[in-house]
Chain A
Amino acid sequence: MPNDIATQTGIGARVKRKEDFRFLTGRGTYTDDINRPGQTYAYILRSPHAAADIVKIDASKAKAAPGVVAVFTGADYEKGGLPAGWQIHSKDGSPMIEPPHFPLCKDKVRHVGDQVALVCAETYAQARDAAELIEVDYKETTPIVNVGDADKAGAPQVWPEAKNNVCYDWHLGDKAATDAAFAKAAHVTKIDLVNQRLIPNAMEPRAAIGDFDRATGEFTLYTTSQNPHVIRLLMGAFVLQIPEAKLRVVAPDVGGGFGSKIFHYAEEALVTWAAGKIERPVKWTAERSESFLTDAHGRDHVSHAELALDKDGKFLGLRVSTKANMGAYLSTFAPCIPTYLYATLLAGVYTTPAIYCEVKALFTHTAVVDAYRGAGRPECTYLLERLVEKAARETGMDRVEIRRKNFIPVNAFPYQTPVALQYDSGDYFSTLDMALKMSDWAGFEKRKADAKARGKLRGIGISTYIEACGIAPSAVVGSLGARAGLYECGSIRVHPTGSVTVFTGSHSHGQGHETTFAQLVSEGLGISIENVEVSHGDTNKVPFGMGTYGSRSLAVGGSALVKAMDKVIAKSKKIAAHLLEASVADIEFKDGKFTVVGTDKSKTLGEIALAAYVPHNYPITELEPGLEETAFYDPLNFTFPGGTHVCEVEVDPETGVVQVVNFTAADDIGRVINPMIVEGQVHGGVAQGIGQALLEGAAYDAESGQLLTGSYMDYCMPRADNVPNIQVGNHATMCTHNPLGSKGVGEVGAIGSPPAVINAVLDALLPLGVKDITMPATPYKVWQAIQSAKKAAE
């Protein structure tokens, strides 16, 4: 039996996802599926202007409209603003500018979609109709939209306290050493890059229901969140001043997040606050249009980078200067994304000895920008891999060899980079070789010739990447400005008859935790997977949690479960020793049984659980009854997944259409629990990376600040025909500092893929003389690039 568990449902088995039955049959319970007795519906009136003074709001007609229970504006809101969870200090030591962020605008609106008024009514239609009756007198001002222009003299100012719109002006690395490296360089490669703004587009739009119990004074918030405990902490402590004991936050089934559901949003605070005011539940569900306008966006960097090389192609130094768009306010984790999740990765997989990076974070009249799948690391990887590729082209070195030559050697781990991080393990040579083999790199020239015969330009591109995830050691991030610890909590409850409920702070919103964690616990405790249920997402059930982001669930949340299981096993051994009349030291736990070493006397976990809950024969003076253990796990370091992605494209020179024809991802993600889920994560991440490289891009009108890509007509998401069959390879080196050896897989696809795709497009266009292309490489842009190159060649 136990061996069956290990092979069929344990660690390493391709167990079909337990949660998919309810998802695929439409039986999931999402926030919008929840309805509370006496519920009202909320509609949020949003600013149609990017920048304006609110001169006057007259809500009297709306208040008198049919079905309206209450109308609230900024003047009614007396509680706190939404906090930023991370504080960055500028070069000069001054703290970042942290403007107030009230859930309802008080005197100004600062982006299209900003919250101006909240209407609560008996039906959603009544709330919406009433909102139309609110008369807002705006005095428009000129907005600033593009991050590249935001700090220029004369640019419109978003906040008076943020001079030149600068939130912070930060740096990392050794400037003098980097300058010295450039001084002795044989070659310097320079590049200017834009990492375009993306809109996350989770399948389920955000939703929130606030509920207030008049009898107990307890608030409940149902919300589409990746981390309900974090929301309880932020909203309870900082925004609404509700003690944790009086605030329950439930994040039920959540249909995708990709980072956009980490943050504490205004709507969550508003429905909870309003529920207390009107003493009735308040339900808000975003329309897709609202999601486009108000979900935290991702990326939006403008960068200049320079790489110094010696005559043999060894990297000597790297210099990077980046402007990062924060949007109009600071979202929960926005400040740390372009700093400690970006610049700290600039060593990449290379031995570059001197690195210096400056980052200016700027406010603009646009939606907030925060973590989106990869969060800082895709921006870093794109910059590095475009730069390295360009260096290879300029120096005439082979694109693969220049990478191999600069890889951190396998025997150099733990490896201290010049930008703060220490990589614990890795083997970039093996993932490179694996990717080259799987993608048949050597056979490319023939495929290229075949494509040419068909009138197509074929290109191949490579990206060798690393990321830091398993976020994060609390002491380290605390010293860098984090205002929270980033451990995780897990709890194992063994029920009297031996079934187990696992409580985890790692929320699952598509990742398959209910299966992965069940596999982990099933094997760890030697019980069948059917006897393990995983519970997450409710602060009244799970003791605590820091949530799901930064590819941390298995490395951090899984490690907490391992620690909790260790405690369960330790206690069970004591119980077994008592029942079997043996010394604890002689009890061995193996294959799901507690056995007296050298005998056939043993007890199963079920028998021990029954004894623990029915303690008739029990060491009651030494042990408490019951069998339930909780553990917190705070990682000792980040984890460092890495690998090689190879992309092959065909470009139609007549139309500029790029088709991704092959994609290979060879990753080192440490120990794998469920290879099928891992492949799914890589597939999804690569699809999003292809989306960024070829299709997606948020556009604001520079003059008016209106969001031009506000629907699926103008914001192009990847579809089935944009994504090829993806080959996934895995070469694991174990993480050295967590009990599972796992590194994390949620973001690798989105991090490694965009530069591989663009490098492939540029490789295809190389014969035509095209040297650069910006993401997304749409047919229009590719065609334009081809025409310009042709003209230049004439």
Chain B
Amino acid sequence: MDMTGEHEIKAPRQVVWAALNDPEALKQSIDGVEELNKISDHEFEAQVVAKVGPVKAKFKGKITLSDLDPPNGYTITGEGQGGAAGFAKGGAKVQLADAPGGATTLRYQVHAQIGGKLAQIGSRLIDGAARKMAEEFFTAFSGVVEARAAAAPSATASETAPAPAAQPSAAVAQAGAPSAMPPKQGLPPAVWIGGIVVAAGVVVWLILR
């Protein structure tokens, strides 16, 4: 499965970058992220629960970051194990660029694979499901980021973003990570990517079972 997209967020690049590295912002943007734990500087574990009607399924995911280039972009790879449902894994390149009017353009290229029962019965549906979830994510994420940008106009003006840079540490602590994380290394950035792929898989799985 390949998915590419571009989204404009009305906030400066530093703010977007910081939010992408903020588990709280991500949790607010993805429905069903239950846990987010750092297991090393560039590796995270996530647990995503997807619900369809009365049925719930849990995917455990592992996310690895590479090619970190704050605040311009990174590469992430993720893998989610859904037990009998099979697995979803993939990678994404994410780039942030300044857009006119102090906004930021976020571009992403996802390449993902699903396997096991999920692939067997859900391949035809997964693209649509993932696209829909990406849309939902961006709508929610833009809302969160734009709200922050509005609440911190000084950061927007200065473009140095001291305030957002401080946020991730606090957020990591909230999320249960044992130590504060150096913000420049990025947090669980692409939980959202892994999350989308995995959660889309879960949704398809639940619909089909």
* A contact residues vs B (CB 8 Å cutoff): 48-49, 112, 128, 131-132, 289, 292-293, 701, 703-704, 706-708, 710-711, 713-714
Q: Which residues of B contact A48 (CB under 8 A)?
A: 86-87, 115-117
Please encode chain B, from 165 to 209, with 1 for each CB lying within 8 Å of some chain A CB and 0 for all others. Answer: 000000000000000000000000000000000000000000010
Q: Which residues of A contact B94 (CB under 8 A)?
A: none
Q: Are B113 and A703 in contact (CB under 8 A)?
A: yes
Please encode chain B, from 80 to 120, with 1 for each CB lying within 8 Å of some chain A CB and 0 for all others. Answer: 00011011000000000000000000000000011111011
| Among candidates B84, B115, B123, B124, residue contacting A112 with C-beta atoms closer than 8 Å | B115
Q: Which residues of B contact A128 (CB under 8 A)?
A: 84
Q: Are B115 and A708 in contact (CB under 8 A)?
A: no
| Bound form: Cα–Cα A132–B123 in Å | 22
| Among candidates A131, A132, A289, A703, residue contacting B120 with C-beta atoms closer than 8 Å | A289
Q: Which residues of A contact B144 (CB under 8 A)?
A: none
| Bound form: Cα–Cα A708–B208 in Å | 14
- Tell me how far the C-beta of A666 lies from the nearest C-beta in chain B, rounded to whole angstroms: 40
Q: Are B115 and A289 in contact (CB under 8 A)?
A: no
Q: Are A292 and B120 in contact (CB under 8 A)?
A: yes
- Is there a chain A Cβ closer than 8 Å to B68's Cβ? no
Q: Are B121 and A711 in contact (CB under 8 A)?
A: yes
Q: Which residues of A contact B114 (CB under 8 A)?
A: 706
Q: Are A112 and B83 in contact (CB under 8 A)?
A: no
Q: Which residues of A contact B121 (CB under 8 A)?
A: 289, 710-711, 713-714
| Bound form: Cα–Cα A195–B208 in Å | 31
Q: Are B115 and A704 in contact (CB under 8 A)?
A: yes
- Tell me how far the C-beta of B111 lies from the nearest C-beta in chain A, rounded to whole angstroms: 10
- Tell me how far the C-beta of B2 lies from the nearest C-beta in chain A, rounded to whole angstroms: 11
| Bound form: Cα–Cα A704–B113 in Å | 7
Interface residues on B, range: 10 to 19
Q: How many interface contacts (CB-CB < 8 Å) are there between A and B?
A: 51
- Tell me how far the C-beta of B58 lies from the nearest C-beta in chain A, rounded to whole angstroms: 11
- Tell me how far the C-beta of A255 lies from the nearest C-beta in chain B, rounded to whole angstroms: 22
Q: Are B119 and A132 in contact (CB under 8 A)?
A: no
Q: Which residues of B contact A710 (CB under 8 A)?
A: 117, 119-121
Q: Are A707 and B124 in contact (CB under 8 A)?
A: no
| Bound form: Cα–Cα A132–B87 in Å | 13
Centre residue among B86, B87, B123 by max chain A CB count within 10 A: B123
| Bound form: Cα–Cα A293–B121 in Å | 11
Q: Are B120 and A704 in contact (CB under 8 A)?
A: no
Q: Which of chain A's residues has its CB closest to B117's CB?
A: A289
- Tell me how far the C-beta of B162 lies from the nearest C-beta in chain A, rounded to whole angstroms: 43
Q: Which of chain A's residues has its CB closest to B119's CB?
A: A706
20 sample A-B contacts, Cβ–Cβ < 8 Å, listed by A number: A48-B87, A48-B117, A112-B116, A128-B84, A132-B83, A132-B84, A289-B117, A701-B123, A707-B119, A708-B120, A708-B123, A708-B124, A710-B117, A710-B119, A710-B120, A710-B121, A711-B120, A711-B121, A714-B121, A714-B123
Apart from A112-B116, A701-B113, A711-B208: 17 A-B pairs, beta carbons within 8 A: A112-B119, A112-B120, A128-B84, A132-B84, A289-B117, A289-B121, A703-B113, A704-B119, A706-B113, A706-B115, A706-B123, A708-B120, A710-B120, A711-B121, A713-B121, A714-B121, A714-B124
Q: Which of chain B's residues has its CB closest to A712's CB?
A: B121
Q: B119-157: which have CB < 8 Å to A?
A: 119-121, 123-124
Q: Which residues of A contact B208 (CB under 8 A)?
A: 711
Known: A48-B87, A706-B114. A701 touches B119 (CB 8 A): yes
- Tell me how far the C-beta of B194 lies from the nearest C-beta in chain A, rounded to whole angstroms: 17
Q: Which residues of B contact A112 (CB under 8 A)?
A: 115-116, 119-120
- Tell me how far the C-beta of B171 lies from the nearest C-beta in chain A, rounded to whole angstroms: 31
Q: Which residues of A contact B116 (CB under 8 A)?
A: 48, 112, 706
| Bound form: Cα–Cα A293–B119 in Å | 12
| Bound form: Cα–Cα A714–B122 in Å | 9
Q: Which of chain A's residues has its CB closest to B84's CB?
A: A132
| Bound form: Cα–Cα A293–B84 in Å | 14
| Among candidates B83, B117, B119, residue contacting A708 with C-beta atoms closer than 8 Å | B119
- Tell me how far the C-beta of B11 lies from the nearest C-beta in chain A, rounded to whole angstroms: 37
- Nearest 4 pairs between A and B by C-beta? A710-B120, A48-B116, A706-B119, A132-B83
| Bound form: Cα–Cα A739–B74 in Å | 78
Q: Which residues of A contact B117 (CB under 8 A)?
A: 48, 289, 710
| Bound form: Cα–Cα A48–B123 in Å | 14
Q: Which of chain A's residues has its CB closest to B116's CB?
A: A48
- Tell me how far the C-beta of B197 lies from the nearest C-beta in chain A, rounded to whole angstroms: 14
Q: Which residues of B contact A49 (CB under 8 A)?
A: 115
| Bound form: Cα–Cα A704–B208 in Å | 21
Q: Which residues of B contact A706 (CB under 8 A)?
A: 113-116, 119-120, 123
Q: Which of chain B's residues has its CB closest to A50's CB?
A: B115
| Bound form: Cα–Cα A710–B84 in Å | 15
Q: Which residues of A contact B84 (CB under 8 A)?
A: 128, 131-132
Q: Are A293 and B113 in contact (CB under 8 A)?
A: no
Q: Which residues of A contact B123 (CB under 8 A)?
A: 701, 706, 708, 714
- Tell me how far the C-beta of A309 lies from the nearest C-beta in chain B, rounded to whole angstroms: 45
- Tell me how far the C-beta of A392 lies from the nearest C-beta in chain B, rounded to whole angstroms: 39
Centre residue among B84, B87, B208 by max chain A CB count within 10 A: B84
Centre residue among B115, B120, B121 by max chain A CB count within 10 A: B120
| Bound form: Cα–Cα A711–B121 in Å | 6
| Bound form: Cα–Cα A48–B84 in Å | 9
| Bound form: Cα–Cα A49–B117 in Å | 11
Q: Which residues of B contact A289 (CB under 8 A)?
A: 117, 120-121
| Bound form: Cα–Cα A707–B118 in Å | 10
| Bound form: Cα–Cα A707–B83 in Å | 18
| Bound form: Cα–Cα A706–B124 in Å | 13
Q: Which of chain B's residues has its CB closest to A708's CB?
A: B123
Q: Are B120 and A713 in contact (CB under 8 A)?
A: no
| Bound form: Cα–Cα A293–B120 in Å | 9
| Bound form: Cα–Cα A309–B86 in Å | 54
Q: Which of chain A's residues has its CB closest to B83's CB?
A: A132
Q: Which of chain A's residues has its CB closest to B123's CB?
A: A708
Q: Which residues of B contact A701 (CB under 8 A)?
A: 113, 119, 123
| Bound form: Cα–Cα A289–B87 in Å | 16
| Bound form: Cα–Cα A131–B117 in Å | 14
| Bound form: Cα–Cα A714–B121 in Å | 8
Q: Which residues of A contact B120 (CB under 8 A)?
A: 112, 289, 292-293, 706-708, 710-711
| Bound form: Cα–Cα A702–B115 in Å | 13
Q: Which residues of A contact B87 (CB under 8 A)?
A: 48
Q: Which residues of A contact B113 (CB under 8 A)?
A: 701, 703-704, 706
- Tell me how far the C-beta of A445 lies from the nearest C-beta in chain B, rounded to whole angstroms: 41
| Bound form: Cα–Cα A721–B165 in Å | 64
| Bound form: Cα–Cα A16–B176 in Å | 73
Centre residue among A292, A293, A704 by max chain B CB count within 10 A: A704
